[in-house]
Amino acid sequence: MREVIKIKNKRIASMDLLRALSTIAVILIHVTGTILYNSNNKSLTYNSSLVLNQLTRFSVPAFIFLSGFGLALSYKKESKYLAYLGHRLKKIVPDYFAWYIVYIFLLEDINLSYHDKIISIFHGTLYYHFYFVPIIIILYLIFPIFYNFFRTKLALFITFFLNMGVYILLRYPNIPKSISENLTRESVISWIFYFVLGVYFCSNYDKVHIFIKKHRNKLLFLLLLSTYILLKDTFLCLRANNDLDYGTTFIRPSVMLFSIFFILYIMSFNFNNLSFKKILYMISKHSYTIYLSHPLLLYWLKKYYIQNKYIIGSYKFFIIVFFTCFIGGLLISILINKFKKLL
């Protein structure tokens, strides 16, 4: 625990940078995804959106890495399980339930009964971004139980090969449906490595940080190489199988390698610029509400464009929608926080 105690009272700027980048990236994924489904696959807009969509695939892996890192950073082994759980869950569950209810009443084209919508809360299947929160809750539940194991190299190697094996298996076209349905992005198993990486990194912070800082140039080379492999993989998949979900999903070996090198490269930096730190902290602080709210803003903007017969697959759509989702989500979060302080 010596390494963890050493950094416990120190805010790590690279964490804020990674969370801020991931917040922006997840919005870009959803905006470019909307463009991809509404533009000609031979157009420049389509191909530019596809590249940007893939270059931002580090977002969810990074969020899960940060969850593991943050838990290990603040965890007190002597804490009682229920006290720990209550403290962690109160930070995410109330907002999750509140936003889920908002989506239930404001989404107009979800073909589910109200009963099914309520039940879907436990799985996060009402809308495409909610799956992330139940995964985090499960990871919170198991963290104290496997804490000592997650801090080891053995856990890192086991979960790496487990996830890589799952990702390779899911690329096999004739995989039985009974297997593939249980290994989707909604499955904790599909993300466990990133969480363990976060716990391990934090628990061995000094050693790991010195190593990645020393080898930053090599990490950059590996990041660039994995970026090339990722983009090549995407375009080859879409050429062989014109299925956007299959060709662009998070659940791929190439995304895993790209995400690992991206996370480690960003975490190798230190920042002394106070103004930059404040901006990163602001985005990082409001990242959860931005994540929960921006798909609803995107939903209504897309609906507005369709009703008025405006072009969705355009650069103008991209610019307007991205900044509306980002700034709108940020303002919503600021207003909610001010309202909470009044209660």
Q: How does pLDDT run across 57-97, given as a tens digit for each residue?
A: 999 999 999 999 999 998 887 789 999 999 999 999 999 99
Tokens of 70: 């943050």
Tokens of 124: 């996060």
Letter for the amino acid at 339?
A: F
Confidence of residue 9 (pLDDT cuts 50, 70, 90): very low
Query: What digits encode the pLDDT tens for the residues 208-266?
Result: 999 999 999 999 999 999 999 999 999 999 988 878 888 888 889 999 999 999 999 99
Euclidean distance between the first and the last CA atom of the chain, given in angstroms as a whole number: 38
Contacts 24+ apart (CB under 8 A), 212-219: 212/264, 212/265, 212/267, 212/268, 213/268, 216/265, 216/268, 219/261, 219/264, 219/265, 219/268
Lowest mean pLDDT among 42-51, 64-73, 234-243, 321-330: 234-243
Domain extent, residue 191, equals 2-342
Per-residue confidence (pLDDT) for residue 221, from 0 to 100: 98
Per-residue confidence (pLDDT) for residue 176, from 0 to 100: 64
Query: What digits encode the pLDDT tens for the residues 273-304?
Result: 777 888 989 999 999 999 999 999 999 999 99
Per-residue confidence (pLDDT) for residue 5, from 0 to 100: 39
Q: How far apart are CA 75 and CA 82, in angstroms?
A: 13
Q: Which CA distances in Å does 284 have to 15, 113, 210, 289, 323?
A: 9, 36, 24, 10, 17
Q: How far apart are CA 20 and CA 282, in angstroms?
A: 9
Lowest mean pLDDT among 28-42, 111-125, 188-202, 289-303: 111-125
Per-residue confidence (pLDDT) for residue 4, from 0 to 100: 42
Residue 2 has pLDDT above 60, yes or no: no
Q: How far apart are CA 24 and CA 75, in angstroms?
A: 28
Tokens of 133: 């929160």
Confidence of residue 34 (pLDDT cuts 50, 70, 90): very high
Tokens of 329: 């989500």
Beta strands in the chain (DSSP E): none
Q: What is the biggest distance separating any 2 CA atoms in the chain, rounded to whole angstroms?
A: 60
For the ranges 2-11, 177-186, 325-334, the maximum mean pLDDT occurs at: 325-334
Average pLDDT of the residues of the chain: 90
Query: How many independent structural domains does the chain possess?
Result: 1
Confidence of residue 173 (pLDDT cuts 50, 70, 90): low
Q: How far apart are CA 308 and CA 304, in angstroms?
A: 6
